[in-house]
Every structure is written in structure tokens, then in C-alpha cells.
Structure 1
Amino acid sequence: MTAGKGDGEVLFEFQRVGSYLRVTAIDAQTGVEVTVAGPATGSQELLKRTAINKLRFVQNKGGQNKDAKAAPGQKSGPGTGTKPRTGGLY
């Protein structure tokens, strides 16, 4: 499915887990993946739009700090050794 506004192809995975529906959206070009959840009785279209908005947010957030971006398949953040820790108590 195309996400609209020229964003490219987005793949969706729907998983029912008990009383809620888990939706994973994956950008086909970059492989960026996000997950949202909502009531299983709710609108799938609403969950898809929410997932697309979250995907856009994550992609825009990542575009502002490209040098701190982890390699594909590698996690970043505290305790992973991919970003230096700054400030705070250890």
C-alpha cells in the first residue's frame, strides 16, 4: 500500500493478540518498522493511519540525527555500545 503524499510503499502486518490488534508498518524502501496497537473491534483503517503517522514521525526524527543512526539490525541506545553516554548518573 502507498502511504500517500509520495511516501512510498508501506507493508502492514496485522496480529490479533487477545482483545487488541497489533499493527506493524514497514517502509519497503528503508526497512524502518513501527508497531501500534488498538482494540480488535476498532477500525483497521484508523490503526493503519496511526501506524503511517508513527512511521513518518520515526523517519523524520531519524533524519535530524543521521550520525547517531545505528546500522541495520543493530540497536542503539544505553548499554549497546553504539552511542556514548552523556550526563546522568551511572
Structure 2
Amino acid sequence: MADDDLGEVIVETVRNGPYIKCSAIHVATGREVSAMGPVNEPKAVERVAIAKLRRALETGR
């Protein structure tokens, strides 16, 4: 996945029962964040993970 302002981001989704875990990795820095949510809302969980990655890159944490 390529996000215009983030650059290249790898997104991985893993199901665990009624939940999914979505990890987003910023290729240039190796920074990784994840988000969990209901399995029936995978795109919403992905949006949360991307937003968390954006915040992590802005704050440097």
C-alpha cells in the first residue's frame, strides 16, 4: 500500500476468533503499530492502524 504523505506502508491483518489485528509498518523507518477490532469491520480497523502510524511518525515515538 502506498499512502501519498506516508510513503510505502505494509498492512497485515490476522484474524483471532471474533477479532482482527491489523499491523501497519512504515517501510522507510521500520516503525510498526497495530490495532484490534471486530472481524466484520476490517477496513475500519485498517484506518485506525494507519492513523496510529501517522501519529507515531509525527511524535517520533
| TM value normalised by structure 1 | 0.62
Q: Percent identity?
A: 38
> For residues 24 and 7 of structure 2, what CA distance do their matches in structure 1 show?
12
Which amino acid counterpart does residue 21 of structure 1 have in structure 2? Answer: I
SS at match of 2:3: coil
Quick one: higher RCO (CA 8 Å, sep 6+), 1 or 2?
A: 2
The aligned residue for residue 73 of structure 1 is: none
- Distance, in Å, in 1 between the alignment partners of 2:58 and 2:48 is 15
* Structure 1 position 3, deviation (Å): 2.2
- From the CA coordinates, give the structure whose radius of gyration is larger: 1
Tell me, yes or no, if structure 1 residue 55 matches structure 2 residue 53.
yes
Q: Secondary structure at the match of 1:35?
A: strand
Unaligned runs of at least 5 residues, structure 2: none
The structure that is strand-richer by fraction is: 2
Q: CA deviation at 1:19?
A: 0.8
* Structure 1 vs Structure 2 CA RMSD: 1.4
User: Aligned pairs, how many?
Assistant: 61
Q: Using structure 2 for the length normalisation, give the TM-score.
A: 0.88
